[in-house]
Copies of this chain bind each other. A is one copy, B any other.
Amino acid sequence: MENLPKEVIMKEVGPRDGLQNEKEWIPTEHKIAWINMLSNTGVKEIEYSSFVNPKMIPALKDAREVGERIIRNPDVTYSALVPNMKGLEFALEAGIDRASVFMSASEMHNQKNINKSIGDTYPILEEVIKEAKDAGKLVTGYISTVFDCPYQGKITPEQVLEVCDRLVEAGVDDLSLGDTIGTAVPTDVEKLLEVLLKHFPKEKLILHFHDTRGMAIANIMTSLHYGINRFDSTVGGLGGCPYAKGATGNVDTNDVLYLLHGIGIETGISEKKMQQAGLYIQNILGKQLPSRSLAYISNA
């Protein structure tokens, strides 16, 4: 294990990716209290909401209020999802350190998700990226379905590379590679990283796994062997999969912390505080979250 990174930077995307598909309304007060808890866990990045059209994602229609009212920890980088110039405008008003733009590596998923072709998405994102950079913000480019698409099947590393290239040219600081439907296995991760790491330094790549099939921790372990040291996760494993109802969500932050700390990698995050944040939102949602860690501590 001599090639493993010494430190990993986790981005907590629970307040955004974790909640965006929740059917039940979570009151703004609870979101703010929860994000404030997360801000004090030692986590270095939090994606607090999404400035997508509230008709599309009603669960996060209070993004502005959340952004305005959370207590900012100066050691935390706060980001929000931004689909277009209007979203960026709102996000800048509400306060962000980082704008997260997004598109798919799959033509069909991009069409279904954004209602535009990949080709037509680039100019929109290019404008947003430029504007965000001009405003002095960091920008992450999320790329969905980098392994499998629910409509189109396998996505090749070359298809992913093409989107990465365009977003990097447009000025993103880094790329978050999403296993959107949580179907990848470690050999898929290897094949993708073998290609991308020939073109980009590892610091530019963030891996974003969902745990639909229970492979996320193994996929993170494989990524670590390639020197990847940035991962997205949600506390409690929040976040379903719109393509498989009842399936589990993102990889659980606490499960990732158990892995990382167990193999001697530092994150700066308190497992205990992150578990408390998980229990808090589990209690608000009133249902058992898929996290192994929360099941363990709830019942220990």
User: Nearest Cβ distance between residue A209 and chain B, in whole angstroms?
Assistant: 12
User: Inside 8 A of A295's CB, which chain B residues have their CB?
Assistant: 246-248, 290
Quick one: given A259-B185, A263-B187, are A300 and B217 in contact (CB under 8 Å)? no
Within 8 A of B (CB), among A212-227: 212-215, 217-218, 220-222
B263 touches A214 (CB 8 A): no
State which residues 167-201 of A face B: CB under 8 Å: 185-188, 190
Question: Could you tell me if A296 and B259 are in contact, using CB atoms closer than 8 angstroms?
Answer: no
**In the bound complex, do residue B262 and residue A300 qualify as a contact, i.e. CB atoms below 8 Å apart?**
no
Say yes or no: is A107 at the interface (Cβ < 8 Å to chain B): no
Cβ of A298 within 8 Å of any chain B Cβ, yes or no, is yes
Given A190-B1, A217-B215, A218-B217, verify A300-B247 contact (CB < 8 Å): yes
Which residues of the other chain, B, contact A47 by a CB distance below 8 angstroms? Answer: none
CA distance A80 to B188 in the complex (A): 38
Q: How many copies does the complex hold?
A: 2
Contact B299 A213 (CB under 8 A): no
Q: How far is the CB of A141 from chain B (nearest CB, A)?
A: 27
Which residue of chain B has the shortest Cβ distance to A224 in the bound complex? Answer: B186
The reply to whether the CB of A123 lies closer than 8 angstroms to some CB of chain B is no
Contact of A217 among B214, B246, B298 (CB under 8 A): B214
CB-nearest residue of chain B relative to A211?
B292
- Are A296 and B221 in contact, with the CB atoms below 8 A? no
- 9 new A-B contacts, CB < 8 A, other than A214-B255, A218-B220, A247-B299, are A1-B187, A185-B258, A186-B263, A213-B293, A214-B258, A244-B300, A246-B298, A247-B295, A247-B296
Report 17 cross-chain contacts, Cβ distance below 8 Å, ordered by A residue.
A185-B262, A186-B221, A187-B264, A211-B292, A212-B292, A213-B258, A213-B292, A214-B217, A214-B258, A215-B217, A215-B255, A215-B262, A218-B218, A218-B220, A244-B299, A247-B295, A247-B296
